């Protein structure tokens, strides 16, 4: 069984959600599918699909206009939440410390955080991949509770380029060895129906985090099928 997490980012509308979710609910698979939707699409009819969010406030509640708390997500039926996706780190200056707070708040409220880590192309070229991953992990994983780690090299996200299998195995093995307890580890970045099976079968890879290919049945269902 592999974990397959779809991340819609800031894309999609209600019709597109209904269309994909109906198809997903009719798809028999031994894999676990989780869909991380924009906040506005989280409520309503979910056709039995497991829901994730793409961000959560590091605060419990209060005067934080525009933010969404873990209790609100829980209330809306969310079971998983992405924490520290590289686009949040890049565009919203999220630090490892904030990511740890977000993940901790999620866990406290019964939501499993999916903590994203990964190096930039500059860091990769400088030979710093392992050091970057280790620092991100040591500063952003919560003290207790269950979580998931997603290894997403920033340069592989939305680029159509993926690391080699040996680069992935090196990174995920470092993650596996660094975590104090055994937690699922995902790979994310430019996954499609052609590369999904091979990447998901790399040792220590428990599943995939999928962006653009998760938006439509035509691209997402073949990935699910290839992992069955």
Residues labelled as active-site residues: 85, 152
**Residue 212 in contact with ligand PGA, rule: CB under 6 A:** yes
207 near ligand PGA (CB under 6 A) = no
In the bound complex, what is the minimum distance in angstroms from residue 159's beta carbon to ligand PGA? 7
- Applying CB under 6 A, what is the total number of residues that bind ligand PGA? 13
Instruction: Choose between 94 and 152: whose C-beta lies nearer to ligand PGA.
Output: 152
**How many Å apart are CA 122 and CA 124, to the nearest integer?**
5
Q: Is 217 a binder of ligand PGA (CB under 6 A)? A: no
Give me the sign of the Cα torsion angle 38, 42, 47, 50. positive
- Told to check if 185 binds ligand PGA by CB under 6 A, we report no
What are the beta bridge partners of residue 4?
33, 208
Does the footprint of ligand PGA cover residue 209 (CB under 6 A)?
Answer: yes
Angle of helix 96-108 relative to helix 129-140, nearest 10 degrees, comes to 40
- Window of 73-81, 121-129, 131-139, 210-218 that interacts with ligand PGA by CB under 6 A: 210-218
Closest C-alpha to 183, from 108, 80, 91, 102: 80
Check binding of 189 to ligand PGA (CB under 6 A): yes
* Separate counts of helices (H) and strands (E) for the chain: 9, 8
Regarding 110 and contact with ligand PGA (CB under 6 A), the answer is no
24 vs 210 by CB, closer to ligand PGA: 210
Count Cα neighbours of 36 within 13 Å in the Cβ-side half-sphere.
Answer: 27
Cα 48 from chain centroid?
20
Q: Report yes or no: 217 and 19 within 8 Å, Cβ to Cβ.
A: yes
Residue from 191, 199, 205, 223 in contact with ligand PGA (CB under 6 A): 191
Distance (Å) of CA 166 to CA 7, 49, 198, 199, 208: 25, 33, 12, 10, 17
**Interface pick for ligand PGA out of 60, 158, 198, 201 (rule CB under 6 A):** 158
Question: For ligand PGA, which residue of 157, 185, 196, 224 counts as binding (CB under 6 A)?
Answer: 157
Query: Where does this chain bind ligand PGA (CB under 6 A)?
Result: 7, 152, 157-158, 188-191, 209-213
């Amino acid at each position: 069984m592999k974990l397959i997490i779809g991340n819609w980012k800031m894309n999609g509308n209600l019709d597109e959600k209904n269309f994909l979710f109906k198809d997903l609910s009719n798809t028999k698979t031994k894999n676990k599918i989780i869909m991380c939707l924009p906040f506005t699409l989280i409520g309503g009819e979910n056709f039995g699909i497991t829901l994730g969010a793409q961000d959560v406030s590091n605060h419990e509640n209060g005067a934080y206009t525009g933010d969404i708390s873990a209790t609100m997500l829980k209330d809306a039926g969310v079971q998983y939440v992405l924490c520290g996706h590289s686009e949040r780190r890049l565009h919203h200056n999220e630090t490892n410390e904030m990511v740890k707070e977000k993940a901790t708040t999620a866990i406290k409220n019964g939501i499993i955080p999916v903590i994203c880590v990964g190096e930039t192309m500059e860091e990769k070229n400088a030979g710093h991949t392992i050091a970057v991953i280790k620092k991100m992990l040591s500063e952003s994983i919560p003290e207790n509770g269950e979580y998931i780690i997603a290894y997403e090299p920033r340069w592989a996200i939305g680029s159509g380029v993926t690391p080699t299998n040996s680069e992935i195995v090196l990174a995920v093995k470092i993650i596996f060895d660094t975590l104090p307890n055994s937690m699922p580890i995902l790979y994310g970045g430019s996954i499609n129906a052609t590369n999904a099976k091979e990447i998901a079968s790399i040792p220590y890879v428990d599943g995939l985090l999928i962006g653009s290919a998760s938006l439509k049945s035509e691209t997402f269902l073949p990935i699910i099928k290839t992992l069955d």
